[in-house]
Chain A
Amino acid sequence: MFKVRDDEPEYAFVPVADGPVRNRYGEYINLAEENSVLVGKTLNINGDNGISDNPNRYKQHGFYFNADNCISCHACESACSEKNNLPPYLAYRSVGYVEGGSYPSYTRLNISMACNHCDDPVCLKGCPTRAYTKFAEYGAVLQDPDICFGCGYCTWVCPYNAPQLDVEKGHVHKCNMCVDRLEVGLKPACSSACLAGALDFGVIETLPDNRQQLKTQIPGFPTPEITHPNIRFQQTKSLPDELKRTDSIALKYRRHSAQGEYVTEVDTSKTDGRRHWNLRKLLSSHENAHIIFTLCTQTTIGAFMLMVLGPLIGLPGLRIDAIFSWPLAISMLFIMSFGMAKLNLHLGRPLRFYRGFYNWRLSPVSREIAGVTLFFAGFAGYCLFSIFDNHVSMLLKQAATVTAIIGGSVGMFYMIKLYLIPARPFWNHWQTASSFTGTALVLGACLIALVTLTGTGLEQSSVRSQQLSSVVLAGLSLEAIGLVFHAYAMKKQGGEGGASFFEQISRYGKTYWLRNGLLSINILIMGMVIYLGLHGTIGIMLAVLVLMSILVSCILGRALFYVLVIPTTMPGAFFWRNKGFEEHAKQSGLANMPQTGVVPDKH
């Protein structure tokens, strides 16, 4: 057990307080009844089999943050980093701030934030490897780095930026609520270290001494509706009507009610107001693996589905036994393998890839991986059994086809579903579905066209080329319609989605309009192709051009999708937790000094 000192000060102990039975969201604060199997077990911390007699052991605990008092002295963050021996480039707890007013009636509101050990832990649900457990003990949500394979999905779904993807170690780790200290009645290291009467800890929904409020929100803190976080606030001092962030995220907060509620708005002063290309940043992001994976799998699944299901929806020209050819099969296998390899290699721990299915009950990522893998197996089986020409292999081929259809559908569905994350409003829109489906149609059809029409010439397969062109047009239109609605929705909703959209039209403005332009031209050309057909050398040249244009527009579009998303995290500080400074540190070489706290890009 953790050793309590003889002279341990009173403030370091968690007070024993009687609170309500249920929390404000209706959940029981007591997480396990006396006779529950969850009671009376050791937490087995570092091999210690002791069991605490803390009377509140099975009650949901949480942090209490008095925003009136925080001075941003960093003691909480540092006590945490010291206890957990964290490297400078990441932290379980961070202090950021928003500020407003006009000198000298200026106010800075500091916010200290770590994991909120939520009632509805989206990290636990999202993690494909089941690295997360919510414990009945203290309600702590703990993550096991030894299980994690470093995909970082939990860092996407968490609205508070609590899980930390450690790029050096290749796995995630996060706040452990200092359960070792709790077992002996001590508050977590951060709360014990607070130097301003700001950060405290206890059973949730209980007020610490001398405090008045149990709010669930303060300006800068993401909505508690996503996860029902176990943090309560006090914020009684009057604040300016507008609060700004010092980090590079284009968000600000505006007071909209007398009760002091703030809405998140786009801060257009964060850029120079001009449109830029920003291509280097766009195409060198850490999400490149996802760009490649999604485009490759969507292409392959799209092509296969078109061949199998096309005839059923009135596209006889796409019949699989008519189209299927070895060049096509090999290109599809190659593209699919390339995509999956890229995805796997982007994992912090690629050798643990097999753990991706562990959380199939809860995680859309697990289901996506399962679906895509099933599709791959089914498609490979289809190819394999096409080699033989006998009755058994025919049957097996049909079984493989069904497998691939099921796998492909499940894979596509969950590939979309996994991006519908409330903490990432830019993705959390049906445009993700229209874009992924559209891409599958467009690139699938293009792949078939490229491979099967190259040898035969255009005129001979006019029906097929006509039908493929229609599919491409449909896919492009779907994509375009989705984008129009998405743009409108993001602008209207403001907040993080609006900020992403603002980035799209400013920092990436030229790229964005290039993609939009290409998409429109592609639609026009495809319409002309369907109407007039493709003839002769000009036809071939036009086909090659439009294919290239489609590819560029798909890659740009997908890259924008990944690079633009702004998660609902708390505000950063001027250097720490400031994306803008991190980028500058990498570019300028400051990041090469490890004590800068920014991991340099590895090339």
Chain B
Amino acid sequence: MLFGRKHKNPIKITDKGVVEWKYTTCGYCSTGCSIEVGLDDKGEAVASRGVGGADVNRGKLCLKGIFEHELFRSAGRGKQPLIRTRRFDKFKTTTWDRALDRTAAEIQRIQSTYGRDAFAIVSTGQIMTEEFYTLGKLTRGVIGTNNYDGNTTLCMSSAVSGYKRSFGSDGPPGCYDDFEHTECLLAIGSNLPEQHPIIYWRLQQAMEKRKFPLIVIDPRVTMLAQMADMHLPITPGTDVVLLNALAHVILAEGLEDRRYIAAHTNGAEEFEALVAQYDPVTASRICGIDEDTIRNVARLYARAGSAMTIWTMGINQSTHGSDGVVGINNLNLITGNIGKPGGTSLSITGQCNAMGTREWSSCSGLPGYRTLEKEKDRQEIADFWGIDADFFPEKRGLFQTDIFPAIETGQIKGLWLIATNPMTSMTNTARIRKTLEKLEFLVVQDAYEDVETNEYSHVYFPAAVWAEKEGCFTNTERRVNLISNVVKPYEDSRPDLWIFNQMAKRFDQGRKIIFPETASAVFDELRQLSKGRMLDYSGMSYDKIEEQRGIQWPCTEGAESGSPRLYTDGKFEYEDGKAKLIPLLFIDNNERPDEDYPFWLNSGRVVEHFHTRTRTGKVGNLNKFSPTPYMEMNPDAAKELAIDHGSYVRLTSRRGDAVVMVQLTQRVPPNMVFIPFHFHECVNRIALGLLDPHSRQPAFKQAAVRVEPIVDQESASVRNVAARSF
């Protein structure tokens, strides 16, 4: 063997000089990975690694987590509060006091002029549970507007709504450990390798130990579809039909769990009557999956000792999102697959703390899965906060997707946005611009001052990001995990908790209510408010959470640990303890491809980016994998239109147009194009986003578009580059 030299030179390998590793939880998606951030002797965050002993990720991280330490000092971070009189003036830097005073004064002016609900607040799934709870207290208990929601309406509200309708409460009943027990897994509109790589790894490891059938329902041939035993390339927006047909076969062939249905559900008769209409032949003509396959899947699922379904945005972001979730729950209820190991309906959530906002932010009601509609809940919270229960409205107000139209038509005059970027995330960008410019006052609170929505704000609050502060996230499997403070906030940015507390002090009622200053003191309030409830936190403490690398609620006082599953006893959250089987009539209201707009427009996520790229668009080692938007298009369709691989094309819809680079691939059918949703001024310029009647979630993934080749590639490129400020 040739070695090159006998006397070897010393070896140099990069040593980042980590002197201390600090425990925290990843701030991207809701998988809930435990991360350690490495600090060098100057206290700079220089490295990230997965926590070896953490049950969720077992030492692994996806690429976003691997580079998460780079967030703290990345480009575009807000350094100081900014202020301006009119949105087209130049921003001036200001002090926190002035920015907060001006904002409080504007809120009070708008509310006294136009009514309490004329000021709206839209938050996020990104900040800590303690911060959500505090924002809820500020909004519901002090400011008193009922037009308060989170951007989780864009991602999880269909799951929330579906869980509530079926089980009487929100709360995913399963966990990742179910992969270790299930005998059949159905994944609908969920692409784990791209969206939740760590959950995919858990699934892959489970399958490697003990193979079970994996069935993937997705209109694209995703990596998960490719890894599946069966891939059902469904027609967009028709999941409910397929789910009804699966139930039809199960019931028609007597494969259902009669005992479970009788003991734990209501509404079986109406349900059975409806699914009788959805025989596989009828269904196959609507959903595009042949009748044999439908029967095969139904039998496989029903005969498995335990079977589970996971889903993500393929179900949620649809005009039948909530119905889709109910359809999945129906399937699992009739087969007795709820609350048992390997048998569950597990929504795979999007944002790191989408669960936290569902549980504690009071967006859709009151803290701890309480509702405004129940007098008892209103009274409990009013007493706990020390305010008059009459201050609460008796019904929840508008969802995020209804708040924007209300701004457009003048019912809402002021808006506070917290860690959300509707300029990129909402459909019909042109309409959003028109909407935002009508606001008399907009305050944007975000870790990044280059967040696109800031173009329309009057005041900007620079927020601390992720582990620059302390608190908890709840993950997809209801695991509450700790984000400990790793580095101090960048420049003069402040934790969201501090900002909410300072704002409370500027209102009369805010001075009467106690707003604890530390996250752990807020956490104590959560423990008290959750005691004895489904989402019981009372047995948790920060130390215990860190020690166990996260604890799944419910964790009752004195309990050693949390609970992996809900409804194990078959008792649901409806008054009579039974779940509901709900008949789902399918009405096709989608904008389907036609002669003018012959392609389905589908959108989704890529692994290297998170949401509107305000974070990942600045981390070179992530962004380089897709630095500019692209569109998957079938080569056969492209040939007919004389469109080249790698060229720019113009897309038009009934909303407007967009320019995007083409990637030809057989991954998509000839009548569909797919565009990642992360990019500013791209897919959401043309998407429709019809709203789900129950969850008000937009159907981002179903619209019709036309594709045109562009002769002047150079100007198309100029237009694209102009929209890429980061």
Contacts and interface: CB of A to CB of B under 8 A. Distances in A.
Interface in B599-653: 607-608, 617-628, 630, 634, 644-646
A103 B621 contact: no
A7 B52 contact: yes
Nearest to B223: A71
Contacts of A19: none
A142 interface: yes
Given A82-B67, A195-B198, A196-B193, A597 B620 contact: yes
A86 interface: yes
B517 to A, nearest CB: 34
B558 interface: no
A217 to B, nearest CB: 21
Contact of A31 (B1, B47, B53, B67): B1
B667 A108 contact: yes
A244 to B, nearest CB: 9
Contacts of A31: 1
B1 A73 contact: no
Contact of A590 (B1, B3, B618, B628): B628
A83 interface: yes
A574 B60 contact: no
A8 B16 contact: no
A328 interface: no
A589 interface: yes
B394 to A, nearest CB: 48
Contacts of B711: none
B197 interface: yes
A71 B52 contact: no
Interface string A99-136: 11111101110000000000111001100001011111
B587 interface: no
B67 A590 contact: no
A134 B624 contact: no
Given A75-B66, A195-B60, A69 B52 contact: no
B213 to A, nearest CB: 16
A147 interface: yes
B107 interface: no
Interface string B572-608: 0000000000000000000000000000000000011
For chain A, which range describes its interface: under 10, 10 to 19, 20 to 34, or 35 or more residues?
A: 35 or more
B9 A147 contact: yes
A602 interface: no
B666 A5 contact: no
A589 B667 CA distance: 30
Given A78-B67, A120-B2, A196-B200, A103 B208 contact: no
Contacts of A142: 11
B625 A576 contact: yes
Contacts of A179: 11, 13
Contacts of A196: 193, 200-201, 204
A534 to B, nearest CB: 48
A196 B52 CA distance: 17
A8 B52 CA distance: 5
Nearest to B607: A73
A46 B15 contact: yes
B10 A44 contact: yes
B199 to A, nearest CB: 10
Interface in A64-110: 69, 71-75, 77-79, 81-89, 99-104, 106-108
Contacts of A351: none
A134 B3 contact: yes
B624 A595 contact: yes
Interface centre among A41, A83, A210 (most CB of B within 10 A): A83
Interface stretch (B161-169, B261-269, B717-725): B717-725
Interface stretch (A253-261, A337-345, A579-587): A579-587
A213 interface: no
Contact of A78 (B53, B621, B644): B621
A85 B3 contact: no
Contacts of B717: 584, 587-588
B14 A84 contact: yes
Given A106-B667, A195-B201, A73 B193 contact: yes
B129 interface: no
Given A5-B52, A78-B621, A575-B626, A593 B221 contact: no
Interface in A28-73: 28, 31, 37-38, 41, 43-47, 69, 71-73
Interface centre among B6, B620, B721 (most CB of A within 10 A): B620
A393 interface: no
Contact of A585 (B1, B12, B200, B627): B627
Contact of A597 (B61, B204, B627): B627
B12 A46 contact: yes
A193 interface: yes
A589 B721 contact: yes
B4 interface: yes
Contacts of A585: 627
A189 to B, nearest CB: 9
A138 to B, nearest CB: 12
B1 A45 contact: no
A226 interface: no
B59 A99 contact: no
Given A38-B3, A46-B11, A596-B624, A74 B200 contact: no
Contact of A82 (B47, B204, B667): B47
B24 to A, nearest CB: 16
Interface centre among B3, B5, B14, B618 (most CB of A within 10 A): B3
Interface in B3-43: 3-6, 8-16
A41 B669 contact: no
Contact of A103 (B48, B53, B634, B724): B634
Contacts of A139: 1
Given A82-B67, A106-B221, A142-B11, A9 B59 contact: yes
Contacts of A573: 625
B142 interface: no
A594 interface: yes
A12 interface: yes
Given A73-B63, A133-B5, A575 B625 contact: yes
Interface in B279-332: none
Given A44-B10, A130-B5, A590-B721, A597 B646 contact: no
A272 interface: yes
B176 interface: no
Contact of A595 (B53, B197, B620, B646): B620
Interface centre among B617, B625, B667 (most CB of A within 10 A): B625
B200 to A, nearest CB: 6
B56 interface: no
Contact of B4 (A28, A44, A134, A590): A134
A595 B619 CA distance: 6
Interface in B208-238: 208, 221, 223, 225-227, 231, 233
20 contacts: A27-B1, A45-B11, A71-B223, A73-B62, A103-B669, A104-B225, A106-B221, A121-B2, A134-B1, A134-B2, A147-B9, A193-B66, A196-B193, A196-B204, A574-B663, A576-B624, A588-B718, A593-B726, A597-B621, A597-B627
Top 8 nearest A-B pairs by Cβ distance?
A597-B624, A88-B620, A7-B52, A7-B53, A78-B63, A71-B193, A595-B620, A44-B10
Given A71-B223, A576-B624, 10 more contacts: A6-B52, A73-B200, A99-B665, A103-B667, A124-B4, A132-B4, A197-B208, A594-B620, A596-B623, A598-B624
Interface of B: 1-6, 8-16, 47-48, 51-53, 58-63, 66-67, 193-194, 197-198, 200-201, 204-205, 208, 221, 223, 225-227, 231, 233, 607-608, 617-628, 630, 634, 644-646, 663, 665-670, 717-718, 720-721, 724, 726
Interface of A: 5-9, 11-12, 27-28, 31, 37-38, 41, 43-47, 69, 71-75, 77-79, 81-89, 99-104, 106-108, 119-121, 124-125, 130, 132-136, 139, 142, 144-147, 176, 178-180, 192-193, 195-197, 210, 246, 248, 270, 272, 573-576, 580-581, 584-585, 587-590, 593-598
